[in-house]
Structure 1
Amino acid sequence: MASDVSDQSAPVRHGAIILARHGEPALSRKVLLSAAEYRAFWATYEIGGILPGQTPPDRLRKFVAECGAVVSSTRLRAIQSARTMVGEREFPHHEILIEAPLPPPNFPSWLKLSPKLWGFIARVWWWFFNHHEGQETRAEAEARADRAAALLIGLAAGGENVVVLAHGFFNHLIGRSLKKLGWRLVESEGYKYWSMRRFERG
């Protein structure tokens, strides 16, 4: 008599996870700022949207059109970036995907730097010297990235690809978490605006 037992031991075939960075923000970076001014700049940057009139790369648009799930962080720049590609299609926004904080070190007020340079310095101080000013620490962000990776893996478990519109550095942390869980980075466009990094189950 033939066995009627269904094969429940077959491995789950996951879809790919594509981590994409949002489009260019509307806030100009062509300024020189003190540390205090950079704090105000970052606070404005965090609530702002993207520069109007941008066209996402065709390849990213194709991934979004064909994927099984699109998700974004709760930041406006990420939501608007996703919206340029999904139209009226609904998609979830997850606070777990927001960018890690960037509090600058308390350098003298006479020192004026570009937002890009301040961002680099603030990330180094946060990463290596635990400078967080009461905000999320590196350890907390890494733990959040682990939870975010688990969320995305769950979405990809059905076999369809997942596209994430979020942020440069936190996408990097999610990528590290995915690698720890056996996922491989099979394609990378770096971390520029609209860039994407594709992970597949190893």
Structure 2
Amino acid sequence: MSTDPNGPSQPAPFQPDLAPPDVAQAKSAPGAIITVRHGRPNVSRKVMLNAAEYAAWWGRYEETGLKPGQVPPPSLMDIVRKAAVVLSSSRIRAVETAEALTEGRGFEIDDSLIEAPLPPPRWPSWLRLPPTVWGVIARFWWWFLNHHEGQESRKQAEARAQAVAARMTELARQGDVVIVAHGFFNTMIRRYLRRIGWTIVESEGGLSYWCRRRLVR
């Protein structure tokens, strides 16, 4: 995990040395895979921003930890206590979430679990929108129009998600695996898990902070 005083580091384009193993042919794993979204970050969404300002806002969001005073859901705490493996994205908001959930127990920090980028389109400076709206626009342009501004592309992020899904499948042989990461990238991971035989059997919290999905195979 590296830090940069000038701003959040961008992931290098994902170039796996080898293609992900054919986990679709593997035997059923004994454990479940639980994807968890981080807690609420300590940043306000009650602002109106133009495209350039949103890009700066997202940069701050990527460097921000959790808003103080949050208490993890007890049911989620219980799941983490029983897990064989806990992994966290390297972003501060995810690391602090994992720290709150693990109660001093060790966990792995993994750069491959960070959120997919959200570069906004270069629209006129007079157009001002809240961050939530910019996030939807930026995600649409990134996903459907390949707008990445030199950051990680959709194709690269999909390769990263596929590799994560393969690795989590192998780790699940040890027992339950908890992934503490981010809303959209968790969705991408689950997309590949479902392709190789995993099924969502439990969903808690919708799309909110601290939400979770449980997959079994």
Same fold (TM over 0.5): yes
Structure 1 residue ranges (4+ consecutive) displaced by more than 4 angstroms after TM superposition: none
Q: Map residues 105-124 of structure 1 onto 2, 5 A cutoff.
A: 105-124=121-140
Q: 2:185 aligned with 1:130, yes or no?
A: no
2:179 is paired with a residue whose SS is strand
Shift in alpha-carbon separation, 1:198–1:12, aligned structure 2, 3 A: closer
Identity percentage of aligned residues? 54
**Partners of 2:142 and 2:133 in 1: how far apart?**
14
Residue aligning to 2:168:
152
Residue 12 of structure 1, CA deviation:
5.0
Q: Map residues 11-26 of structure 1 onto 2, 5 A cutoff.
A: 11-26=27-42
Amino acid at match of 1:170: F
Tell which structure's C-alpha radius of gyration is larger: 1
Residue 67 of structure 1, CA deviation:
0.9
Residues 166-193 of structure 1 show CA distances to partners (whole Å, capped at 9, x for unaligned) of 0000000000010111111111232210
**Partners of 2:84 and 2:48 in 1: how far apart?**
43
Residues 71-93 of structure 1 show CA distances to partners (whole Å, capped at 9, x for unaligned) of 10000000000101212211111
What is the Cα-based RMSD across aligned positions, in Å?
1.2
Residue aligning to 1:60:
76
Structure 1 length as normaliser, TM-score?
0.92
Residue aligning to 1:191:
207
Residue aligning to 1:3:
none
Unaligned runs of 5+ in 1: 1-9
Q: 1:78 aligns with which of 57, 77, 94?
A: 94
Amino acid at match of 1:172: T
Residues 5-44 of structure 1 show CA distances to partners (whole Å, capped at 9, x for unaligned) of xxxxx94542000000000000111111000000000001
Q: 2:160 aligned with 1:161, yes or no?
A: no
Unaligned runs of 5+ in 2: 1-25
Count of aligned residue pairs for this structure pair: 191
> Is this contact kept in 1: 2:35–2:179, CA < 8 A?
yes
